[in-house]
Structure 1
Amino acid sequence: MDRSHLNCLKSFILFLNFLCWLCSAFVVAFGEFQMMHSKFASLVTTFWPIFPANTLVVSGTIMTCVCYLGILGGFKENRCMLITFFVLLFILMLVELAMACVFLVYSREIHTYIEHDLMKSLVSYRNGAPEATKKLIDDFDAVQHLFRCCGVHGSADWGDNVPLSCCTKDPCNNVNFTTWDEGCVVKLRDWFAHNYRSTGAGVVTMFIIQLISMCISVPLFCHLSRQGLGYQ
């Protein structure tokens, strides 16, 4: 491999890693945005990793660091950085595959967590328990208003203490107002499923870029090894 081919390979791996770094930084920013504007964190607390925002922030942060290492390794033609980048990226890809399998296998259990925590929050809200903080009350009202639902399985969950956020038509200040028929657990499950499909599409794209970066880093590392370069 002559110098021109080496420079071409080096430029390609730098471009891929920089693209991957940009995507990872965007993933972190998008995850932080979701965390700041999420109305569900105080309602579902048992299994926090089910939130797409948490998954995006953690995976994006790790991927940003790994891609930065790949950029430095390719730019400086450093074998130590390149092999470290390859190993970390390979481990990260295995973790991504393992997480995907876990979510596929335990998707039903995740739905059970959502239903259990939502019912627990409703009981605290309805009975005026000490753990029914203002944030929990506001978030539950926001979910019912946003998704046009009432209770967990229906308005019957509230008994005689149905909140105004279940009201379907204005004005909602009278005693006998109509409520939404559908419970919020179905709407939230659909919302989580939609978010995970979007997150899954992004993960697949990132996975392809990572795989190509790994394949390109191998011949560059091998060439530096044959020339005895890469540790300066």
Structure 2
Amino acid sequence: MAQGCLKCLKYTMCFANFLCFLCGVAVLGFGVYMMVNFKMAALTPTLASFNLANMLLISGIVITCVSFLGFLGALKENRCLLLTFFLLLFLLMLVELTAACLLLMYEREIGRMVKEDLNNGLEKAKEKNETSTSVMNEWDLIQVQLNCCGINNVTDWGDKVPESCCLKNCNSPSVQYRSKGCLITLQNFFEENFLTTGISVIILCIVEVLGMCFAMTLFCHISRSGLGYKL
């Protein structure tokens, strides 16, 4: 009976770590996608300073490596790998909780800095120099992707409304511009995804706690059975 429960625990842990490995690969791919398609360092240096794409890349690599250690440790019944998996998973959970708490604490401050970045970026885009060209390209990109215009609305551009603000009838007197401002659109985007992100972090922490419990249970059984260095 005990051997049957152990095998069930062993293969359950292998399957769970395989799913975590796939999730890590997905996070890694999303980080590469963001790095290629979302380049707004000149427009929003505050968000760029967080290096979200690089953070996703690092997170994806860490998740895949940790899950591979857990999978291999459970499959080979290796105490060293299981203990390493437990410690890395514990550190990863602490980092995730710390990052979530910091975002909650400085949410308003980050929002204020992003608003200042957009105001500065709008002023730079109206100038005629090399810097304004790169900033204008980023404005065009964000306005098309987020379906917005200006910071609050189209009037922020004054008489120099870019083509990326146009929604319908671009070359006619009855031109129709995008109604929402980019600041409001960004705020709505983060607010809509805030609850989903919070629930995801909670579920991830629960999964990590269960993984640590499984790893310790398997580690203790292997220690009692004297198979600690089985390869």
Task: Give the alignment's TM-score, normalised by structure 1.
Answer: 0.85
Give the deviation of 1:177 after TM superposition: 4.9
Structure 2 gaps, min length 5: none
Post-superposition shift, 1:117? 1.7
The 1:84–1:146 alpha-carbon spacing in structure 2 relative to 1, beyond 3 Å, is closer
Aligned to 2:141: 142
Residues 192 and 52 (structure 1), Cα distance of their counterparts in 2 relative to 1, 3 Å cut = farther
Deviations 1:112-145 (A, max 9, x none): 22212222222221112332244x3233123223
SS at the partner of 2:168? coil
User: Does residue 88 in structure 1 map to residue 82 in structure 2?
Assistant: no
Question: Do structure 1's residue 231 and structure 2's residue 229 form an aligned pair?
Answer: yes
Structure 1 equivalent of residue 153 of structure 2: 154
In structure 2, the residue matched to 1:57 is 57
- Which is further off, 23-32 or 193-202? 193-202
1:29 aligned residue? 29
Distance 1:30 1:48, change over 3 A: same
Matched to 2:142, the amino acid is V
Correspondence 1:97-116 to 2 at 5 A: 97-116=97-116
Contact 1:39 1:142 in 2 (8 A): no
Deviations 1:170-207 (A, max 9, x none): 13366x95544542111122223334544444433332
Q: Indicate how the Cα distance of structure 1 residues 57 and 192 shifts in structure 2: closer, same or farther if over 3 A, else same.
A: farther
> CA 1:141–1:4 in 2, change beyond 3 Å: closer, same or farther?
same
Asked if residue 43 in structure 1 is aligned to residue 43 in structure 2, the reply is yes
After superposing on structure 2, the runs of 4+ consecutive aligned residues of structure 1 that deviate more than 6 Å are none
Aligned residue pair count: 230
More deviation, 154-163/115-124: 154-163
Cα distance in 1 for residues equivalent to 2:34 and 2:47: 17
Deviation per CA, 1:2-24, whole angstroms, max 9, x where unpaired? 43332222112111111211122
Offset of residue 60 of structure 1: 2.2
Under a length normalisation based on structure 2, what TM-score does the superposition of the two structures give? 0.85
Alignment of 1:212-223 (within 5 A): 212-223=210-221
**Aligned-partner Cα distance in 1 for 2:69–2:164:** 50
The answer to whether residue 192 in structure 2 is matched with residue 194 in structure 1 is yes
Q: Distance in 2 between matches of 1:201 and 1:129?
A: 45
State the Cα deviation string for residues 5-60 of structure 1 (Å, max 9, x = none).
32222112111111211122122223322333336454222243657644433322
Q: Which residue identity lines up with residue 89 of structure 1 in the other structure?
A: L
* Structure 1 residues 131 and 173: CA distance shift in structure 2, 3 A: farther
Report which stretch shifted further, 117-126 or 67-76.
117-126
| Residue 185 (structure 1) aligns with | 183
Report the Cα offset of residue 221 of structure 1. 0.6
Alpha-carbon distance between aligned partners in 2 of 1:30 and 1:86, rounded to the nearest angstrom: 26
**CA pair 62-133 structure 1, distance change in 2 beyond 3 A:** farther
> Does residue 172 of structure 2 align to residue 165 of structure 1?
no
User: Alpha carbons of 1:194 and 1:49: their partners in 2 closer, same or farther (altered >3 Å)?
Assistant: farther
CA contact (8 A) 1:49 1:55 kept: no
Structure 1, 201-210 or 84-93: larger mean CA deviation:
201-210
Q: CA deviation at 1:72?
A: 1.2
Of all paired residues, the percent bearing the same amino acid is: 42
